[in-house]
Chains A and B, each alone.
Chain A
Amino acid sequence: MTRLHVVTGKGGTGKTTVAAALALALAAEGKRTLLVEVEGRQGIAQLFETEALPYEERKIAVAPGGSGEVYALAIDAERALLDYLQMFYKLGSAGRALKKIGAIDFATTIAPGLRDVLLTGKACEAVRRKGRDGRPVYDSVVMDAPPTGRVTRFLNVNDEVAGLARIGPIHNQAQAVMRVLKSQDTAVHLVTLLEEMPVQETVDGVAELREAGLPVGGIVINMVRPRILDAEAVRAAEGHRRTDVAKALSQAGLGGARRGGHAERLVGPLLEQAREHAERLGLEREQRAELAGLGLPAYELEFLGDGGDLAGLYRLAADLRKQGVAEEGS
């Protein structure tokens, strides 16, 4: 069963929102999830309308129904390294000295592999952590990961680090992290829109992940807008129905249907919008077919409009649950 859900997506597809909705969906029915962010942008805090997250796991939301809970953590590579040094070496003041001369900064910034090991390592540690009762502290962990273009490199820490640290604890840590990331415990989900560039990037991203042996979970099609009219209806309206449409608009109380009447003058602009709508639906159909070719489970989330608010987030979580996201991979 999937315990670590990694959520990625092209910029602008709403991956942070989807990650948060997924964490809420997985927390329903008395479960506890941890939502982690690794890029220091404090997107989670903004979504949940709270102050900036510290480097500390804290309860951020109650799942729909009230029995489950979502915790959140903004992982900071520097702090993670100090934690790590403390845990394994009981460094104490030497750790602070390292920080003072810039060694921590050095290790976490200039050597990207090391940084990624620390970030993914923290998430994997949360997955494996057990409470006093011997049960996992978190039923699942959801990571708001870097964008699709960088995610394979980010997760494939082993390769990154292999060239740099061939032996030693960092090397071992990378190996341990890789074991979790490549196991059945992990699923990488890709968020996309029904537009060409994000879909292309998703298809490329899936290929890269598969090549690296990382487990791909599902595709989340975000911001799906309602279908109101199809192309056939638009064609009919453009043809012999034009006057009928004007009459109908007039009946609806929108002015005169005669040439130059208010209703009649509405027909042109409304039809133009309908043509665009139909064109978009056609493009969306192509993109859906492209995604279907990946052979992955797909989830669709409606376009929220203004609702980047909490109510919208809970709606998305309910949608994901309805579509069976909590059962997938179990």
Chain B
Amino acid sequence: MTTTVRGSETEDNPGGPAPEASGGPALGGVPLLETDPLVDDPATRIIVCCGSGGVGKTTTAAALGVRAAERGRKAVVLTIDPARRLAQSMGIASLDNTPRQVDGIRGEGRLHAMMLDMKRTFDEIVEAHADPERARAILENPFYQSLSAGFAGTQEYMAMEKLGQLRARDEWDLIIVDTPPSRSALDFLDAPKRLGSFLDGRFIKMLMAPAKIGGRAGLKFLNVGMSMMTGTLDKLMGAQLLRDVQTFVAAMDTMFGGFRTRADATYRLLQAPGTAFLVVAAPERDALREAAYFVERLAAKDMPLAGLVLNRVHGSGAAGLSAERAIAAAENLDESRIVDQMYGQAGTRTPDCGSPTAEGEQDQGQHESAQRAHHEDHADHSEPDHSDHADHGDHTDHPEHADHEGPNHTPYESARSAGEPDAAEVLAAGLLRLHAERMQVIAREQRTRDRFTALHPEVPVAEVAALPGDVHDLAGLRAIGERLAAGGPNPV
């Protein structure tokens, strides 16, 4: 019923992958992810934030960067595709491929931020590894231009490449990486291999030297097949495209080795002890399903997972009052008001005896009001359709909720004209319905979380309470960093 600190529960999961957090307090059996020890530890050199789109991954990366810098680290945040607002919130009009210092960081540390420009990064690699003439031939090749701007894995690959570069520069002691919003962001991890296998592939080799393959094998069949195939490809893509590819591959040939070597080195870097992966999610079904998938993939690839950051978690300062009781109480108020209006009197009323409002329950509820609702007992939510129930009731009570363009017709306002004495009751009923909605949100979030926890009870979790609005400035990022560091439930 309370926020239990049950160390034994953590010990029950000796396989827990995060040594940083295994000593932390546990929440209802789920170990708490403590981000401050993680960013404070000088051994932590790379933090990778991964997760599905729309869960606040980039914001988490930026907030961690601010937090780490203000705790003394020399940090750099590598974002992939930030919203303009996020760049602005770090005081940088637009982020580009060069790390820019973020002003306003308190203390000894410092923070840089940059946004990956995959084409620019690719171009730089070409320029660095080929003589000027060859580099120009590559950069001007139409096939290269298409590859560098849009190959399904280019962004992921270039993020890895950039990470390797930043690490090699040794100007920062902590690199925080935001991963691309790929279908499954772990394409990030597969990208180097994919590009590598592509460039080493049979098809490319064949394009380079078709005669050799067919000829050496001495098989007439293959020769027939080959000419048929090149003929088809010519027809399909246009002969010029095939020539572009051949020219490109020839020009890139000398660079292949370098590509693969660096990709392999970065991959090993990610498996090293100095790296920590954070899976970011929101307490929603799809986001948590994706998070579970990430956790499994990271484990399969021996990547060190530090824990789950759960953004936009709702809480309530009155968690002891359940949704049902709040709605029943609101209905009491509605009924008594109707009775008043019918009889034109404001006499004594007795609440509906059917409503579950025993004093004892109240007491207990109030005691816990500082706790999070979901640490309350679950009996309230065990009937599968209770929240639907309440939901429907709510909608029928306020059919006008969808009419947003019209004038405000909240129940409070429509009743205000009906007479002052009623206003407080209507207002109270509104507050109760609002609370019921909040409690339903909390219950729903808890159910989706329970599914994740059942699959991965060992994964430490840090919760970040939902904010009503978006982040606009460094102070906003700092506030998120504080919530992240607290990690546990903050009653809102």
Q: Answer yes or no: A252 CB below 8 A from chain B CBs.
A: yes
Do the beta carbons of B330 and A224 come within 8 Å of each other?
no
Which residues of B334-378 are within 8 A (CB) of A?
336, 349, 351-352, 355, 357, 359, 362-363, 365-366, 369
Which residues of A252-285 are within 8 A (CB) of B?
252-255, 262, 265-266, 268-274, 276-277, 279-280, 283
Chain B 431-451 near chain A by CB (<8 Å), digits 1 or 0: 111110110110010010000
Q: Answer yes or no: B152 CB below 8 A from chain A CBs.
A: yes
Q: Answer yes or no: A109 CB below 8 A from chain B CBs.
A: yes
Q: Answer yes or no: B146 CB below 8 A from chain A CBs.
A: yes
Q: Answer yes or no: B79 CB below 8 A from chain A CBs.
A: no
Smallest CB separation, A253 vs chain B (Å): 3
Selected from B54, B152, B282, B411, the residue in CB contact (under 8 A) with A10 is: B54
Do the beta carbons of B238 and A171 come within 8 Å of each other?
yes
Do the beta carbons of B54 and A164 come within 8 Å of each other?
no
Q: Answer yes or no: A29 CB below 8 A from chain B CBs.
A: no
Do the beta carbons of A253 and B232 come within 8 Å of each other?
no
* Whole-angstrom CA separation of A110 from B238 in the bound complex: 16
Do the beta carbons of A39 and B183 come within 8 Å of each other?
yes
Residues of A with C-beta under 8 A to B201: 102, 105-106
Q: Answer yes or no: A94 CB below 8 A from chain B CBs.
A: yes
Residues of B with C-beta under 8 A to A85: 232, 236
Q: Answer yes or no: A51 CB below 8 A from chain B CBs.
A: no
Which residues of A290-308 are within 8 A (CB) of B?
300, 302, 305-308
Do the beta carbons of A170 and B237 come within 8 Å of each other?
yes
Q: Answer yes or no: B131 CB below 8 A from chain A CBs.
A: no
Residues of B with C-beta under 8 A to A268: 317
* Whole-angstrom CA separation of A232 from B409 in the bound complex: 12
* Interface window among A179-187, A194-202, A208-216: A194-202
Do the beta carbons of B369 and A113 come within 8 Å of each other?
no
* Whole-angstrom CA separation of A247 from B424 in the bound complex: 8
Smallest CB separation, A293 vs chain B (Å): 14
Smallest CB separation, B438 vs chain A (Å): 6
* Whole-angstrom CA separation of A274 from B326 in the bound complex: 14
* Whole-angstrom CA separation of A270 from B359 in the bound complex: 19
Assuming the contacts A41-B183, A270-B434, asked whether A251 and B410 have C-beta atoms less than 8 A apart, the reply is no
Residues of B with C-beta under 8 A to A269: 316-318, 369, 491
* Interface window among B18-26, B102-110, B117-125, B400-408: B400-408
Do the beta carbons of B85 and A200 come within 8 Å of each other?
yes
Assuming the contacts A160-B146, A233-B430, A253-B355, asked whether A89 and B423 have C-beta atoms less than 8 A apart, the reply is no
Do the beta carbons of A236 and B423 come within 8 Å of each other?
yes
Do the beta carbons of B404 and A288 come within 8 Å of each other?
yes
Smallest CB separation, B197 vs chain A (Å): 9
* Whole-angstrom CA separation of A230 from B413 in the bound complex: 8
Residues of B with C-beta under 8 A to A169: 235-236
Q: Who on chain A is nearest to B151 by CB?
A: A110
Which residues of B290-349 are within 8 A (CB) of A?
316-318, 321, 325, 328-330, 332-333, 336, 349
* Whole-angstrom CA separation of A239 from B226 in the bound complex: 84
Residues of A with C-beta under 8 A to B357: 253-255
* Whole-angstrom CA separation of A227 from B430 in the bound complex: 10
Do the beta carbons of B317 and A254 come within 8 Å of each other?
no
Do the beta carbons of A226 and B285 come within 8 Å of each other?
no
Do the beta carbons of B152 and A112 come within 8 Å of each other?
yes
Do the beta carbons of A228 and B150 come within 8 Å of each other?
no
Which residues of B216-254 are within 8 A (CB) of A?
225, 228-229, 232-238, 240-241, 244
Smallest CB separation, B339 vs chain A (Å): 12
Do the beta carbons of B317 and A106 come within 8 Å of each other?
no
* Whole-angstrom CA separation of A195 from B444 in the bound complex: 21
Residues of A with C-beta under 8 A to B470: 195-197
Smallest CB separation, B393 vs chain A (Å): 11
Do the beta carbons of B431 and A165 come within 8 Å of each other?
no
Which residues of A238-254 are within 8 A (CB) of B?
241, 244-245, 247-249, 251-254
Q: Who on chain A is nearest to B333 by CB?
A: A252
Chain A 83-127 near chain B by CB (<8 Å), digits 1 or 0: 001000101001001100111011101111111000000000000
Q: Answer yes or no: B181 CB below 8 A from chain A CBs.
A: yes
Q: Who on chain B is nearest to A232 by CB?
A: B413
Residues of B with C-beta under 8 A to A249: 329, 428, 431-432
Assuming the contacts A253-B332, A273-B435, asked whether A12 and B238 have C-beta atoms less than 8 A apart, the reply is no
* Whole-angstrom CA separation of A82 from B329 in the bound complex: 64
Q: Who on chain A is nearest to B401 by CB?
A: A226
Instruction: Count contacts on B: residues with CB < 8 A to the other chain.
Output: 102
Selected from B84, B236, B362, the residue in CB contact (under 8 A) with A254 is: B362
* Whole-angstrom CA separation of A241 from B416 in the bound complex: 13
Q: Answer yes or no: A66 CB below 8 A from chain B CBs.
A: no
Do the beta carbons of B388 and A271 come within 8 Å of each other?
no
Selected from A89, A91, A270, A306, the residue in CB contact (under 8 A) with B387 is: A306
Q: Answer yes or no: A229 CB below 8 A from chain B CBs.
A: yes
Do the beta carbons of B428 and A230 come within 8 Å of each other?
no
Q: Answer yes or no: A153 CB below 8 A from chain B CBs.
A: yes
* Whole-angstrom CA separation of A16 from B260 in the bound complex: 37
Q: Answer yes or no: B255 CB below 8 A from chain A CBs.
A: no
Smallest CB separation, B297 vs chain A (Å): 15
Residues of A with C-beta under 8 A to B198: 106, 109-110
Q: Answer yes or no: A147 CB below 8 A from chain B CBs.
A: yes
Q: Answer yes or no: B145 CB below 8 A from chain A CBs.
A: yes
Smallest CB separation, A284 vs chain B (Å): 8
Assuming the contacts A248-B333, A251-B349, asked whether A262 and B237 have C-beta atoms less than 8 A apart, the reply is no
Smallest CB separation, A323 vs chain B (Å): 9
Assuming the contacts A98-B232, A227-B398, asked whether A112 and B151 have C-beta atoms less than 8 A apart, the reply is yes
Do the beta carbons of A97 and B229 come within 8 Å of each other?
yes
Smallest CB separation, B318 vs chain A (Å): 4
Do the beta carbons of A102 and B408 come within 8 Å of each other?
no
* Whole-angstrom CA separation of A147 from B202 in the bound complex: 33
* Whole-angstrom CA separation of A236 from B431 in the bound complex: 12
25 contacts between A and B (CB under 8 A): A89-B232, A101-B229, A105-B203, A106-B201, A109-B152, A112-B152, A147-B53, A168-B241, A200-B85, A224-B402, A227-B398, A227-B404, A233-B412, A245-B427, A251-B332, A251-B333, A251-B349, A253-B328, A253-B352, A254-B325, A269-B369, A274-B430, A280-B468, A288-B404, A305-B441
The 3 tightest CB contacts between A and B, nearest first, are A12-B54, A11-B53, A269-B317
User: Which A residues have a C-beta under 8 Å from some C-beta of B?
Assistant: 10-13, 39-41, 85, 89, 91, 94, 97-98, 101-103, 105-107, 109-115, 147, 149, 153, 160, 163-171, 195-198, 200-201, 224-230, 232-233, 236-237, 241, 244-245, 247-249, 251-255, 262, 265-266, 268-274, 276-277, 279-280, 283, 288, 300, 302, 305-308
A112-B146, A228-B433, A269-B317 given; 8 more Cβ-contact pairs under 8 Å: A11-B53, A12-B287, A97-B225, A153-B150, A170-B237, A269-B318, A269-B491, A273-B316
User: Which B residues have a C-beta under 8 Å from some C-beta of A?
Assistant: 52-55, 81, 83-85, 142-143, 145-147, 150-153, 181, 183, 198, 201-204, 206, 225, 228-229, 232-238, 240-241, 244, 282, 284-287, 316-318, 321, 325, 328-330, 332-333, 336, 349, 351-352, 355, 357, 359, 362-363, 365-366, 369, 387-388, 391, 394-395, 398, 401-402, 404, 408, 410-413, 423-425, 427-435, 437-438, 440-441, 444, 447, 468-470, 491-492
